[in-house]
Amino acid sequence: MRLDLPARPPFSLDQVINAHGWPQLQPFHWNPDHRELRRVERLPSGTVVELLFGTADGGMSVEIVNPPAALADTERQALADAVTWMFGLDQDFSAFYAQARTEPRLAHAEACAKGRMLRSATLWEDCVKTILTTNTTWSGTIRMVEALVTQWGEPLPDDSGRRTFPAPERLARVDADTLCTAGKLGYRAPYVLELAQAIDSGKLNLEALKTSDLPTLELRKRLLAIKGVGGYAAANLLMILGHYDFVPVDSWALKLVANEWHGGRPIGQAEVEAAFKDWGRWKALAYWFWEWTR
């Protein structure tokens, strides 16, 4: 079964996939040789399927490749909604492009359809993955996410090696020590467990933030209230939510800005923020898609 979904132009599937490292994290499977992005996902009916994403006229396609399945209308709509969210198909960057046209380092943004960033199906998944990017290397993040998916994800019916990202209700019932050791999360285990339990108990409705009309500062406050989410992680999650007022300042950002404007001398967060202060509600996008000298 295949769905073709429209996207607000300009749109480039390659651009969404290459915008950041998420395609390398399970349950996404990115094959750069064949330029194929797949993902294992649980449908609302409970069926676990493998999705294959591709280009289509005016947007993109999603195909259920394993197991071949026909969907009821309600499931078809749920899948369309999920893919629309993951690829930001309805996102509008026209105001950002208008400002980007005035800056040579961002003049390519509109022509290359830059702006969208691949998201997971749930904010829960993106929140956990973001926590797992902190205070570690990228290879460490890949390893931790893989351990979570392998240990607690739901398998494809005919391939137990391919699994979904574990649902919060699943992780809420794992003890912190097991998450720490088998999940390889280390000191982050209690953070992920606390988040899973808050969602599972109904104390926190994280997914509601995806469609919330709260102002950015209030959204940021809600994100910072999650243990393990600090300034960098909150800015990263705000970008995923389509709010670009805060630059996610990590050690890489400090190096980039130091090299670009400070002759390589060590700088702090304030200098990064100052570099993009004129970009208003597009600060994070300007930083993310800036054509750096080195």
Partner DNA sequence: GGTAGACCTGGACGC
Partner DNA sequence: GCGTCCAGGTCTACC
Q: Which positions lie near DNA, rule CB under 7 A?
A: 134-137, 139-140, 143, 180-181, 184, 186-187, 191, 224, 226-234, 250-252
Relative to beta strand 36-42, strand 48-56 is antiparallel
Residue closer to DNA, measured from CB, 143 or 262: 143
Q: How far is the CB of 178 from DNA (least distance, A)?
A: 12
* Closest distance of CB 152 from DNA, Å: 17
Q: List, in sequence order, the alpha helices (H) in the chain.
A: 13-18, 73-87, 94-100, 123-131, 138-152, 168-171, 176-181, 189-200, 216-224, 231-240, 251-261, 269-275, 283-289
Q: Which is nearer to DNA, 137 or 211 (CB)?
A: 137
Give the shortest CB-248-to-DNA separation in angstroms: 8
Using the minimum distance from each CB to DNA, give the nearer residue, 166 or 228: 228
Q: Please say which residue, 3 or 229, places its beta carbon nearer to DNA.
A: 229
Beta-carbon contacts of 118 under 8 Å, excluding residues fewer than 6 positions away, are: 16, 17, 19, 20, 22, 23, 28, 86, 87
Q: How far is the CB of 48 from DNA (least distance, A)?
A: 28
Residues in Cβ contact with 8 at an 8 Å cutoff, skipping those fewer than 6 apart: 89, 90, 91, 92
Give, for 248, the enclosing helix (H) or strand (E): none
Nearer to DNA, 5 or 239 (CB): 239
Distance CA 63, CA 54 (A): 8
| Bond into 32 cis (ω within 30) | no
Task: Indicate the burial class of 94 (C-beta count within 10 angstroms; 0-12, 13-18, 19 or more).
Answer: exposed
Strands 155-156 and 59-66, sheet pairing = unpaired
Give min distance, CB of 71 to DNA, in A.
Answer: 38
Minimum CB–partner distance for residue 233 and DNA (Å): 3
Strands ordered across the beta sheet of 2-6: 2-6, 59-66, 48-56, 36-42, 28-31
Q: How far is the CB of 15 from DNA (least distance, A)?
A: 23
Q: CA dist 280 to 41, 94, 244, Å?
A: 36, 14, 8
Nearer to DNA, 20 or 227 (CB): 227
Q: Which is nearer to DNA, 10 or 140 (CB)?
A: 140
Q: The tokens 């749109």 sit on which residue? A: 11
Place of tokens 């040579």: 104
The identity of residue 52, as a single letter, is L
- Whichever of 43 and 235 has its CB closer to DNA, that residue is 235
Minimum distance between the CB of residue 247 and DNA, rounded to whole angstroms?
12
